[in-house]
Structure 1
């Protein structure tokens, strides 16, 4: 597939897991790809190497999603390297699972700073460069729409906010042909939420398909809304959760 040739994408928090899969899929579809990471420089370098070995172009930029200056610099480096920016994927996110009454203010602030404020920061910086008919895609969560997992109160609140952010921004950017969409994963097998972990059993039980999803399931949906065939899809939340919210 090559429907993203001559397009440039920036994927935040993409050194591993869902973000890495998204970066590799967009590159496979022809896009130049920049990824950001906070820690794990070796993992980020490996994502870039994998893309380059497959014939794509990619760079990795260290930038904490909550650091406005670092994110703005990452956007500018992406534009300077590839000559523009067409697709932003707000993937960076975090969760600190524990009962709400036990959560510290510092922990809640960190979840808000990365999952919500970080989306604001990256999107505002990217919109200085994204042309008409560009794409903004945020990775939300199925718990942002229906909460069935105790211990994720603050996380779910930020993902619910991302859903409304998507709808509001889609209205503002619609006249320019820029689409804004929210991809909502359910339980996906990653280092942070492995399918063989003790937390996996109740999540699997909540799905209709009775299994975890794969990172490529999310990457495929992102690739679709990033491409030309999704030009009339905007302001929507696309849930990829194996029927968790069914």
Structure 2
């Protein structure tokens, strides 16, 4: 049998780095750490080797088709396929970003959604039987982070295809550039840019699982999306979890879980992506009740 291969995108730091570390401890096979910049990736490899881990490195920029093609060719010619793909690479603009809302929307959708899709389209043909795919989403990726019911309905459409989803994402970027995002129901700028990029990635996950369920011959592939928690990284200074804590749920889904097409919270529990309330809103409600705050909260069930 061929040696098992795991790939983690955007893994030279943060949660991706911790995921690689966890896989090196438990995954029975070769683990690839990938990074957009070769120097950053090799520095991360050196740190992990000092800790006794032995991952391999390959440059991978998910926004660059040439880079993705080179990585695909390397995996195909060197290993013949792969068994685990964790799509971790993504970006989040800080609260005090100087970039315009339009620029943030375009960049985050390009990376968090279209970049993830680009990697999937390249590597999915190489997935072996019983392979697993984990798309790192966010609490921001829950459908109900979008305020408008009409916009939510576009993403919850059970007949949604990848080309239709691509069009939805492109329309959001266009509305952002024309300063119409709020009036069109996407949410409040600039925060809705990250929300839409992650909702798109989560919707993509559900479509991908449906396609794998009906492929012939069926490879028994699972695709799930995970909210790793509010991790304190250079992307999110407001986080309260360590990167190791943030890697817990992705590693659980990658190595232990047997479900398909599910949205998994940072506590490793499955959450209904289509409906409220989310665990975050439940916790908030409990806090309000505990402190005697009189609020009128309506959940759409």
Q: Shared fold (TM-score greater than 0.5)?
A: yes
Say whether 1:168 aligns with 2:224.
no
Tell me how far apart the structure 2 counterparts of residues 136 and 51 of structure 1 sit (CA, whole Å). Answer: 23
Say whether 1:35 aligns with 2:33.
yes
Give the CA deviation at 1:84.
2.8
- Stretches of structure 2 lacking an aligned partner (at least 5 in a row): 147-187, 269-278, 283-301
Asked whether the equivalents of residues 11 and 36 of structure 1 are also in contact (C-alpha less than 8 Å), the reply is: yes
TM-score where L is the length of structure 1:
0.79
Asked whether the equivalents of residues 187 and 241 of structure 1 are also in contact (C-alpha less than 8 Å), the reply is: no
Determine which structure has more spread, i.e. the larger CA radius of gyration.
Answer: 2
**Alpha-carbon displacement from aligned partner over 1:169-225 (angstroms, at most 9, x marks no partner):** 11111342100000113310112223xxxxx3xx7xxxxxxxx12211232222222
Tell me how far apart the structure 2 counterparts of residues 51 and 28 of structure 1 sit (CA, whole Å). Answer: 11
Tell me how far apart the structure 2 counterparts of residues 126 and 54 of structure 1 sit (CA, whole Å). Answer: 29
Tell me how far apart the structure 2 counterparts of residues 113 and 142 of structure 1 sit (CA, whole Å). Answer: 19
Say whether 1:226 aligns with 2:237.
no
Q: 2:124 aligns with which of 120, 124, 127?
A: 127
- Stretches of structure 1 lacking an aligned partner (at least 5 in a row): 195-199, 204-211
TM-score where L is the length of structure 2:
0.66
Q: Say how many residue pairs are matched.
A: 223
1:97-112 to structure 2, matched below 5 A, reads 97=94, 103-112=100-109
Tell me how far apart the structure 2 counterparts of residues 185 and 235 of structure 1 sit (CA, whole Å). Answer: 16
Tell me how far apart the structure 2 counterparts of residues 223 and 104 of structure 1 sit (CA, whole Å). Answer: 33
Tell me how far apart the structure 2 counterparts of residues 179 and 27 of structure 1 sit (CA, whole Å). Answer: 21
| Residue aligned with 2:129, SS | coil
Tell me how far apart the structure 1 counterparts of residues 192 and 267 of structure 2 sit (CA, whole Å). Answer: 19
Q: 1:153 aligns with which of 192, 195, 202?
A: 192
Q: 2:227 aligns with which of 184, 192, 201?
A: 184
Say whether 1:237 aligns with 2:263.
yes
**Alpha-carbon displacement from aligned partner over 1:23-74 (angstroms, at most 9, x marks no partner):** 11111113311122123x4442233234445554422222221112211211
Say whether 1:93 aligns with 2:90.
yes
Alpha-carbon RMSD across the aligned residues, in angstroms, is 2.8
Say whether 1:143 aligns with 2:125.
no
